[in-house]
Amino acid sequence: MDQEKLLDLSERLTESLGTSLGQTWISDGKLHVSTTDESKVSEIEAAGAVAHVVDYSAADLNEAITKVMEWQGTLDGPLKTAIHGYYMNPEDGGLTLMVDVGQFESIEKLFNEQKPIGDIPVTLKKSAGPASPAMMTKP
């Protein structure tokens, strides 16, 4: 299936799955779709996508990113700007955080101790990206 058709299929499934949607992504020329509702697997597969059942929806993960940003904002000194990026990780149904190389161990230790997003899976990766304070814009 070509890229455009996969993107169209992603859009249709995103709409039909509603709040049970985890994420959609393309890998090896196939659309993968995660859902928190096991009863949606047959719908996903019938549409031609690969289904994955996860514990957290896209809304849950977006809320978790907000919590990480709020947590980061409470940190002192260089830790306040040590997380450079946040994104949903389709491989484990959690989040990946890009962390300043020089602050990686400190952030990892604090994150594991304080668990600002509970049990949502988190992968921390070293980043040489620009330091910036966590900011959320409110609608």
Short-list 101, 91, 85, 83, CA closest to 121: 91
pLDDT on residue 135: 53
Domains annotated for the chain, with CATH where assigned, are: 3-53 (no CATH), 58-127 (3.30.300.50)
If residue 63 lies in a helix (H) or strand (E), which one and from where to where? helix 58-73
pLDDT band at 131 (very low <50, low <70, confident <90, very high): low
Distance separating alpha carbons of residues 47 and 123, to the nearest angstrom: 31
pLDDT in tens, 23-34: 999 999 999 999
**pTM of the full structure:** 0.81
pLDDT surpassing 90 at residue 48: yes
Instruction: Work out the mean pLDDT of the chain and round it to a whole number.
Output: 91
**Cβ distance 74 to 43 under 8 Å?**
no
35: CB partners within 8 A, 6+ apart = 17, 20, 21, 22, 41, 44, 51, 52, 53, 54
Angle at 120 between CA 34 and CA 71, to 5 degrees: 130
pLDDT on residue 137: 39
pLDDT in tens, 92-121: 899 999 999 999 999 999 999 999 999 999
